[in-house]
Amino acid sequence: MTNSRIAAVDVGNDAVKANFGKLDSSLYIPNVVARDLEDRPVIGIEDLDEKDPLDNLHIRVHSPALRENNAIYRVGNLATKTTNSTELDPGSYKSEEDQTLIMLFASLALDAVREKNAQSAKNNVVEANYTLGTGLPLREVKEGKDVGYRSSLLGSVHQIEFLVTPKYQGMKVNLKFDEVKVYPEGFAAYVNLVMDNDLNIINKELIDKQILIQDIGGLSTDIAVIKNRNVDDDKAQGFNLGVAESLEMIREEILRKHGVELDSRRDVVDIITRKNDRHHIMVKGSRTNVHDITDRILLELAKKQYRFLRNVWQRNSQSEICYFVGGGSAVLKDYIKSLNNKLDGFNIEFFEDEEESIWMMANAYYKLISDFIRKNEKKNHGKNQEQGKKVEQKTGSSK
């Protein structure tokens, strides 16, 4: 794995968060795609290379892992500007969606074509090898879907061609995976809570506690029960409810009431979580409060999430604390805290740093895949030493 670059990628329902190499680069791409034509129109084509590739990501994806092979997509910010953009649907399996793979491949290809990584490109083709750490919701891992997901990535070449994309137009990336590790998201969150990048324990007080981790995503919610430093598979639960449905409801009601069409769920999240002018939109140039809409819909969702917590805690009464993680937790934090104060008063914890909560999975995958590589290198080093000793013994006896 000497020429293999580390990639730790969290394909979240809201966005992809990815760490690469020796944490020398990272990417954040909204999880939105739109089918497109090869020659998309661009205003000011001569200025294309002055624009940010992340805002103008236009690719063709060829992979045997895809149901719709060799299709062309707008990805991320560019896709949000179209009328035919798609986000993952509630109830869908992340491991079985083409969109999951498109977002994964797009992030890896962007990393591969960056100047320092693409120096060996021949005829505009970059050969890129990765050792990937990623994850799936607990319910999908429990159903064994991680096995098929992993095998669809290994053993094949996945080609991403940049079409009308600034700086990278005409470049192709051939992706190969030397190893793929798929981790259950709940366990990954636990690893991030208790360990640093070198897998040293940083929160000793949590190590031997029974804790819950409620990961609220876009499409689903996982509650992991951690006992004796491992996920209790029998007690861990997954629910087909995240924040996506509620974000769509807010989007639709804003359109109905104010005549304002927001591009994507990402815009709704921004309205709810931004530091200034929270819960406000512009209507015909006037700053308008939509708190009545966001409050009612998010409170209903928070009540359902709180019910999940209560039911799991009742079955695991010796739990000492529940950590809320994931992008959905950042959206619902104030509502869940308020409900908890009025109702059961569980020992719950949120991350005040919303960025830390949003990046938790990608950071955890980085720690886990780095540890895997270290152990693998140590094992190979031991094997080489053993083989060296055997060679010495043979040559010694022949003398």
Query: 389 lies in a domain?
Result: no
232 and 323 co-located in one domain: yes
- Report phi then psi at 80, rounded to 5: -65, -20
User: Which residues have CB under 8 Å from 298's CB, separation 6+?
Assistant: 246, 250, 272, 331, 332, 335
297 and 340 co-located in one domain: yes
315 and 226 co-located in one domain: yes
Tell me what pLDDT residue 36 has.
87
Number of domains in the chain: 2
Query: 180 lies in a domain?
Result: yes
38 and 173 co-located in one domain: yes
Boundary residue ending a domain (155, 188, 221): 188
How far CA 171 is from CA of 76, 129, 347, 364, in Å, comes to: 19, 16, 52, 31
166 and 215 co-located in one domain: no
How far CA 196 is from CA of 101, 191, 204, 327, 394, in Å, comes to: 28, 8, 12, 21, 44
180 and 35 co-located in one domain: yes
12 and 61 co-located in one domain: yes
Contact 6, 58 (CB under 8 A): no
Closest CA to 362 of 17, 14, 13, 7: 17
180 and 213 co-located in one domain: no
81 and 144 co-located in one domain: yes
164 and 311 co-located in one domain: no
How far CA 175 is from CA of 38, 212, 290, in Å, comes to: 21, 37, 45
- Report phi then psi at 313, rounded to 5: -65, -35
Instruction: Tell me the residue ranges of DSSP E strands in the chain.
Output: 5-11, 15-20, 25-30, 33-35, 57-62, 71-75, 125-136, 158-162, 172-184, 211-216, 221-227, 230-231, 237-239, 280-283, 286-289, 321-325, 348-349
273 and 338 co-located in one domain: yes
Q: Is 10 helix (H, G, I), strand (E, B) or coil?
A: strand
Q: Which long-range contacts (CB under 8 A, 24 or more apart) does 253-261 make?
A: 253/293, 253/297, 254/281, 254/290, 254/293, 257/293, 258/283, 258/288, 258/290, 259/283
Tell me what pLDDT residue 1 has.
45
Query: 248 lies in a domain?
Result: yes
Q: Residue 311, by phi and psi: left (phi above 0), alpha (psi -120 to 50) or beta?
A: alpha
Tell me what pLDDT residue 285 has.
92
How is residue 77 written in tokens?
């910010």
How is residue 139 written in tokens?
């319910």
Query: 150 lies in a domain?
Result: yes
- Report phi then psi at 371, rounded to 5: -65, -40
| pTM: predicted TM-score of the whole model, two decimal places | 0.83
Query: 59 lies in a domain?
Result: yes
Query: 234 lies in a domain?
Result: yes
233 and 290 co-located in one domain: yes
Q: How far apart are CA 84 and CA 180, in angstroms?
A: 32
Q: Which domain range does residue 268 map to? A: 208-358
Query: 13 lies in a domain?
Result: yes
Query: 388 lies in a domain?
Result: no
In order along its 399 residues, the chain shows pLDDT tens digits of 458 999 999 998 888 999 999 999 999 999 989 998 877 766 555 567 778 999 999 999 999 999 999 999 999 999 987 877 887 776 678 899 999 999 999 999 999 998 666 666 778 899 999 999 999 988 888 889 999 999 999 989 999 999 999 999 999 999 999 999 999 887 777 887 888 877 788 877 778 889 999 988 888 888 989 887 777 878 878 888 889 899 999 999 999 999 999 887 878 988 998 888 889 999 999 999 999 999 999 999 999 999 999 999 999 999 999 999 888 888 899 999 999 999 999 999 987 677 777 888 899 999 999 989 988 888 776 666 666 666 566 666 555
How far CA 366 is from CA of 5, 137, 169, 284, 360, in Å, comes to: 12, 17, 30, 45, 10
The stretches of 261-353 forming alpha helices (DSSP H) are: 265-273, 291-315, 327-342
**CATH number for the domain that contains residue 107:** 3.30.420.40
